[in-house]
């Protein structure tokens, strides 16, 4: 089923000649359009980050809130530097 024109948005970007050449080479090798080559690569990367919540899990309950904060650090829960001075004020 083809997408309707109103479902399509323009998304342009600047590329180096080398980046453009890589996209063209990938498309040629796979026998697909440059757009398909880019979209396939994007979809592969996005799929790597998709998480499916198990029924009844905490993740399932919190799913509406996952990913809603756009400006925070991406490593907040794993990088120890954010905890360096945590709790020091409460000890004095």
**Are the CB atoms for 63 and 53 separated by under 8 Å?**
yes
pTM of the predicted model, to two decimals?
A: 0.49
pLDDT on residue 7: 82
Give 66-75's long-range contacts (Cβ < 8 A, gap of 24+). none
Residues 27-72: tens digit of each pLDDT: 999 999 999 999 999 998 888 777 777 888 888 888 888 778 888 8
**Are the CB atoms for 17 and 32 separated by under 8 Å?**
no
- Rounded Cα–Cα distance for residues 49 and 91 (Å): 39
**Are the CB atoms for 65 and 53 separated by under 8 Å?**
no
């Amino acid at each position: 089923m083809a997408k309707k024109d109103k479902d399509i948005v323009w998304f342009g970007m600047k590329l180096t000649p080398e980046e453009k050449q890589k996209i063209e080479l990938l498309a040629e090798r796979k026998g697909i359009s440059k757009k398909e080559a880019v979209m396939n690569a994007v979809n592969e990367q996005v799929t790597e980050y998709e998480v499916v919540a198990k029924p009844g899990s905490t993740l399932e309950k919190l799913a509406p809130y996952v990913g809603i904060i756009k400006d925070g650090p991406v490593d907040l829960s794993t990088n120890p530097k954010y905890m360096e001075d945590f709790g020091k004020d409460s000890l004095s």
